[in-house]
Structures are given as C-alpha cells and as structure tokens.
Amino acid sequence: MIIFDEKKYAENLIKNGYKNEKYIVMDNIILVKYWKSIGLSEDEIKNKLRIFMVKFQELFNDNIIKYKLNSAMKVGMKYDLLTDICVGITNKEIEQIKTLETIELQRMMFILLTVWRFKGSPKRFRINNTDLMNLSGVKLNSNTFWDYIHQITKTNLLSMVEYRNKSYYQINIEENWEIVLHINKFDNVIDYYMSIIEPEKYMFCDKCGVPFLPTGNNQKYCKICWEERNRELWRENKRKHRNVQV
Ligand SMILES: [Zn+2]
C-alpha cells in the first residue's frame, strides 16, 4: 500500500485505530514519525504509542507490546514524516505517455511515472499490482495485467529489471523541466492525467485546485473539499443555534 500523505494517514489512524492487522508494523512507525513531527519527546512518544496499542489490545498480546514498541521507535525516530510532497510532471512526459496505444496503458504508465517521482526517481522501484490498478482505475486479471505491462515495455518508457531475485520497474524517460502538472493531492491522482486528455469533461476545485470529474451542475469543489465545507457549515449552524438559545 502506498501512503502519499503520512500526516493525514496518522491523523486518521489516531481517530479510528488500526484498520488492518497486516499493516500494524508500518502504522506504528508512522505514528512515531507523526508524534516526532509535532515536537513530542522520545519518552512522550513511547508513552503515547503504548497507550494506543493498549487501547486496541485485542490485536496484541501483552508480552509483545514492549517488543513492537521498541522496534517502531527504532525505525520511526530515524526518519521524517512524509507529507506535503509535490510531484512535477513535464509536458514531454505527457507527450510520451500519450504515444501508448490505449487509454488503459496510458493511465497505468501515468501512475507508474507519478509513483516513481513520488519515491524520488530511484534507479528502480516496486509497486504492487493492486495499488497500480486502483490508482489508475484499470481493473485486470493477473494475466491481462502482465500482458499490459509487457505492452508498455515495448516502448522505451518502461523496463522490468531483476535485482536480487526480485522484479522492479525502471523508467527511462527523458528529463526536461517544463512542468505542466504539479501534483500535491493524491486521492484521485489519475484525474490529473484525464483532465489533460479530456479537458472538456473536467473542472478544477475552487478551493484546492485539483482536477475533478463533476457529477452535477454548478459544482465548484472537489469531493473532499465539498465534504469538508459541509462539515464546516454544519458546525457553524450548530454554533449559531446554540448562541440563539443562550
Ligand atoms: Zn478541493
């Protein structure tokens, strides 16, 4: 699972608890990084994490809490929280992606490129099939998936490389610096690409600027800003109502 904004992820975690047993090790590390980022001391962080784990105790044996706590502290204290990351995509890159034959291939390649940039343009990188399909909105069975990847690698944009017995993606794209897309919201990241391909269908949020596909008339905000605004209005109404009663 790729987490594009660890701050948001941590805040959600604190509010709702662990979502999946599979991710507890990663979740704990992110919590440590988050509490470090808001200025808590090492002792305070350790304490907070212990309380958090006890709160969701059904997932833990008492005797492993100490062990899990120490391993999360060890990694989390070393790294910074990943938040507010902006990925730039250049017009040349968009042009190269557009040369792929079908829109599905283009969508997948756009996501590969974005994730690669998000990770800091490393020599090689990995992303699991489910993440790639979810982010690009292209749903395929395993055979077709690899067939599509194979089709993309027929161009020079992408290759698959083996490294220490694992397969990695490698992106071979010409660098140039005319950035046309500044991606800083990753909730529906494929919309950035689609807004270029089908500009007549897309709008840009009045509040945060992300491209979105409107579902009705007179929509000014993306889904996330719209929900946020509704919550604000609701709170405001509640406050006004209370003031009247006083
Ligand atoms: Zn918005």
- Give one DSSP letter per residue of 187-231, joined into a string: TTTHHHHHHHHSGGG-EE-TTT--EE--SSTT--S-HHHHHHHHH
Q: pLDDT > 90: what percent of the chain?
A: 74
Residue with token string 């590969």? 112
Distance in Å, CA 194 to ligand 1 centroid: 16
Q: Is residue 160 within 8 Å of residue 153, measured between CB atoms? A: yes
Which residues lie closer than 8 Å to 159 by C-beta, 6 or more apart?
153, 169, 170, 172
Question: Which amino acid appears at position 31 of this protein?
Answer: L
pLDDT of residue 246: 55
Is 27 a residue whose pLDDT tops 70?
Answer: yes
Q: 77, 74, 3, 14: which is closest to 40 by C-alpha?
A: 77
Mean pLDDT for the stretch of residues 232-243? 84
Distance in Å, CA 118 to ligand 1 centroid: 20
Give per-residue pLDDT as tens, 170-193: 998 877 778 999 999 998 999 999
Residues with CB under 5 A from ligand 1 (ion): 205, 207-208, 222, 225
Cα–Cα dist 241/182, whole Å: 41
pLDDT of residue 163: 94
Distance in Å, CA 150 to ligand 1 centroid: 36
CB environment 152-188: b (16+ within 10 A), e (fewer): beebebbeeeeeeeeebbbbebeeeeeeebebebbeb
Distance in Å, CA 239 to ligand 1 centroid: 25
Distance in Å, CA 55 to ligand 1 centroid: 34
Distance in Å, CA 228 to ligand 1 centroid: 9
pLDDT of residue 199: 95
Mean pLDDT for the stretch of residues 47-71? 85
Distance in Å, CA 147 to ligand 1 centroid: 36
Q: Is residue 105 within 8 Å of residue 150, measured between CB atoms? A: no
pLDDT tier at 245, thresholds 50, 70, 90: low
Mean pLDDT for the stretch of residues 88-117? 95
pLDDT of residue 1: 85
Q: 97, 102, 60, 57: which is closest to 180 by C-alpha?
A: 97
Cα–Cα dist 126/169, whole Å: 6
Distance in Å, CA 206 to ligand 1 centroid: 7
pLDDT tier at 244, thresholds 50, 70, 90: low
